[in-house]
Amino acid sequence: MTDILQIKNLSKKFSETIAVNDISFNVKKGQCFGLLGPNGAGKTTTIEMMEGILKPTAGEILFNGHPIDKSYYHDIGIQFQHTAIQDYLTVGETLDMFAKFYTRTLSKAKLIEMCALEEIANRDTRKLSGGQRQRLLLALAMLNDPKIIFLDEPTTGLDPQSRRNFWQLIEKIKAENKTVLLTTHYMDEAESLCDEILIVDKGKIIQQGTPKAMLKEHFSGVIALLPINVQEKINRANIPYSVIKQQIEIESENIEQTIKQLLESEVSLEGLQVRSPNLEDLFIKLTGHKLRS
């Protein structure tokens, strides 16, 4: 894949605060690229510079090998966390209104099909559910047939079924050879959708790669979970562990040996769960806290 975006030594300073501190990375054409980080990590500032909303203090952003300029805005689409929609218009009328802002647009029929708006095309926008509204906002971000789509936490507040329906739409967009830049607070979303992930904390890149490669790098076994009420006996057993969400978590390279050690220390295995590490485990391991504060 060729690089559609190149971020070189990007920095942003607000007064005495360094929000983004000399970061560099590339985004490949046609991939879903996830940008993750805790609140205050600098990811929103980074995205806003990539969108052309904020001007960097230092560094540069290249689009297809060239510095971004006014023409760049014709090739990107943005779905913000909060977008005002005109009341008393239908979904179809809203698409018509926003289309007048562009010289180049996808057809209305294509947008309705791509974003699954067929059943609500004639519905008043005030009567849309959360998931339906997000699908309309996605269609508005796609109106100008962009090469890059920025999605800023697009499924926040949606129920699980609506979230998974939205994931299917993103997969359809990728199939159109579009590049997707995604920020999300949901680890399962990032793991399911993103071809590559960048984790930032305190304005610096702390990890980048595919979800599979990053998990393989940092974990070599499984994770055993036990109720918090066995903590005292585990302390006496001298087994390393973490407490996450009021559960004991033990990272084990040899689960049979770990279970044997627990039994020898008279630790009850009632409620024991064993699972593979996921992106949330990785995020906690790298940053010391959960993604959503």
The pLDDT tens digits of the residues spanning 88-101 come to: 999 999 999 999 99
Q: Give CA–CA dist 197/99, Å, rounded.
A: 32
> What are the domain boundaries of the chain?
3-215, 220-276
Average pLDDT of the segment spanning 104-108: 93
**Would you place residue 293 in the very low, low, confident or very high pLDDT band (cuts 50, 70, 90)?**
very low
The two beta strands, 3-14 and 242-244, are: unpaired
Contacts of 276 (CB under 8 A, 6+ apart): 222, 223
The pLDDT tens digits of the residues spanning 137-156 come to: 999 999 999 999 999 889 98
Q: Give CA–CA dist 187/164, Å, rounded.
A: 13
Q: What rounded mean pLDDT belongs to the chain? A: 91
Token digits of residue 163: 């979230």
Q: Residue 253: is it exposed, middle or buried by C-beta count within 10 angstroms (0-12/13-18/19+)? A: exposed
Average pLDDT of the segment spanning 51-78: 95
The pLDDT tens digits of the residues spanning 193-217 come to: 999 999 998 999 999 999 999 999 9
pLDDT at 290 over 70: no
What CATH number does the domain located at 220-276 have? 3.30.70
In this prediction, residue 55 carries a pLDDT of: 95
In this prediction, residue 249 carries a pLDDT of: 92
In this prediction, residue 16 carries a pLDDT of: 87
pLDDT at 218 over 70: yes
Q: Give CA–CA dist 48/46, Å, rounded.
A: 5
Q: Which residues of 43-54 are buried (b: 16+ CB within 10 A; e: fewer)?
A: bbbbbbbbbbeb
The pLDDT tens digits of the residues spanning 262-288 come to: 999 999 999 999 999 988 888 888 877
- The answer to whether the CB of 45 falls within 8 A of the CB of 94 is no
Domain 3-215 annotated CATH 3.40.50.300: yes
| Cα distances (angstroms) measured from residue 18 to each of 6, 90, 200, 207 | 21, 44, 13, 19
pLDDT at 62 over 60: yes
pLDDT at 115 over 50: yes
Sheet holding 222-227, edge to edge: 242-244, 247-252, 222-227, 273-275
**Would you place residue 289 in the very low, low, confident or very high pLDDT band (cuts 50, 70, 90)?**
low
Token digits of residue 272: 């024991």
